[in-house]
Amino acid sequence: MRIAAVIPCYNEALAIGQVIDAFRTHLPQAEVHVFDNASTDDTAAVARAAGARVTGVRLRGKGNVVRRMFADVEADIYVMVDGDATYDLARLPEMIELLVSGNLDMVVGARQDDHQDAQTYRRGHRLGNRMLTGAVVQLFGGEFSDMLSGLRVFSRRYVKSFPALSQGFEIETELTVHALELRMPWDEVPVRYLSRPEGSESKLSTYRDGWRILVTITKLFVSERPLLFFMIVAGVLAAASIGLAIPLLVTFIQTGLVPRLPTAVLATGMMLAAMLSASCGAVLRTVTLGRREVKRIAYLAIPGAAQRATPASER
């Protein structure tokens, strides 16, 4: 089977050589592709010197790089890992075996702190990861423990059915939700999370990237669960409308007068808005189901990992 290692990179000259060497050690049969996201250091040169195929991506953002990687690289199995040398790749053969033997579409490397450096996996990052992962689990199901991991193994049918709409680090959220929405088989394998090479700097911004991921989760909730979202909005509007209307109704029954006409108009408008919101949810749900069917058909058009691993004469 053709195994492709796809590595998104931005200014990782001090780390990318270690990542490529780790693939040579633990997964020597993999063809290593480095996608350089307009780095300003020697990332591309170091990667070429280490024997990787290097492709430049001008549009900044990890999501843009993933879109290019999945479009350009042809393989049976894809291993995606960040180019910062923070993931222990020793369990990659096990992850690939799990993908093929279980005919899975995604295996996630769930990060486990190696406790060598308190700054490796900071408490704030762990808390944020748990909160965001919990939000996705509540909205879309699944039992992920590390939704934001940068180490994943994919089947070909996953990669070629993934639309990749995000632009930045929120791409991990989209990768997770894509598997959950199409009900793909997946699994997790714990992997050690290591310290960055001395001198290299993280590109993550705790608050900025956390906010962008939260916005992405909200957008995905609206687009993938429109009926539930708009019914919640309709319920809030209807409750507020009823709360405003009841005192007016009591006064009208007692006196035959409507003393606060603007309030009555507001309550009526909110109730109409609630009805419109519910109608929008019903219509958008039909659209969402149609989009999901199209993605599912594209997914089913490609054999799974187990079938691609079986010689044609044995099928």
* Residue after which a domain boundary falls, among 184, 200, 224: 224
Structure tokens belonging to residue 249: 């109704």
We report the CATH number of the domain holding residue 38 as: 3.90.550.10
DSSP string, 192-257: EEPPPPTT------HHHHHHHHHHHHHHHHHHHSHHHHHHHHHHHHHHHHHHHHHHHHHHHHHHS-
Lookup: tokens for 136:
């996705």
Q: Please identify, among 224, 254, 274, the residue that sits at the C-terminal boundary of a domain.
A: 224
CA 171-218-152 angle, to 5 degrees, is: 25
Q: Could you tell me what percent of the chain has a pLDDT over 70? A: 90
**What pLDDT does residue 125 have?**
64
Range of the domain at 220: 3-224
pLDDT, residue 206, reads: 63
Residues 153 and 77 in one domain: yes
Task: Kindly state whether residues 56 and 133 are assigned to the same domain.
Answer: yes
pLDDT in tens, 67-82: 999 999 999 999 999 9
216 and 239 in a single domain? The answer is no
Q: Is residue 277 predicted with pLDDT exceeding 90?
A: yes
Mean pLDDT of the chain: 86
> 257 pLDDT band (50/70/90 cuts)?
confident
DSSP output for the chain: --EEEEEEESS-TTTHHHHHHHHHHH-TTSEEEEEE-S-SSSHHHHHHHTT-EEEE--S-SHHHHHHHHHHH---SEEEE--TTS-B-GGGHHHHHHHHHHTT-SEEEEEEEE-SS-TTTT-HHHHHHHHHHHHHHHHHH----S-TT-S-EEEEHHHHTT------STTHHHHHHHHHHHTT--EEEEEEEEPPPPTT------HHHHHHHHHHHHHHHHHHHSHHHHHHHHHHHHHHHHHHHHHHHHHHHHHHS--S-HHHHHHHHHHHHHHHHHHHHHHHHHHHHHHHHHHHHHHHHTS--HHHHHS-GGG-
Residues 71 and 119 in one domain: yes
Do 156 and 38 share a structural domain? yes
Domain identity same for 25 and 91: yes
Residue 196 lies in a domain: yes
pLDDT digits (tens, 9 = 90+) for 282-312: 999 999 999 889 888 988 988 888 877 766 5
292 lies in some domain: yes
Contact 66, 3 (CB under 8 A): no
| Residue 199 sits in the same domain as residue 258 | no
Residues 6+ apart with CB under 8 A from 141: 180
Domain count, the chain: 2
Residue 198 and residue 288 share a domain: no
Is the pLDDT at 313 greater than 70, yes or no? no
Same domain, 217 and 236: no
Q: Same domain for 83 and 150?
A: yes
Res. 29: pLDDT tops 80: yes
pLDDT at 66: 93
pLDDT confidence of residue 200: 65
Q: What is the pLDDT of residues 180-228, one digit of tens each?
A: 989 999 999 999 988 877 766 666 666 676 787 788 888 888 888 899 9
Q: Is 251 exposed, middle or buried (0-12, 13-18, 19+ CB in 10 A)?
A: middle
32-62 pLDDT per residue, tens:
999 999 899 899 999 999 999 999 999 998 9
Residue range 113-122: mean pLDDT, rounded = 58
What average pLDDT score do residues 12-41 get?
Answer: 93
Domain boundary pick from 224, 251, 284: 224
The verdict on residue 314 lying in a domain is no
pLDDT confidence tier of residue 261, bands split at 50, 70 and 90: confident
> Do residue 77 and residue 161 come from a single domain?
yes
In a domain, 107, yes or no: yes
178 and 261, same structural domain?
A: no
pLDDT of residue 244: 86
Q: Is residue 315 part of a domain?
A: no
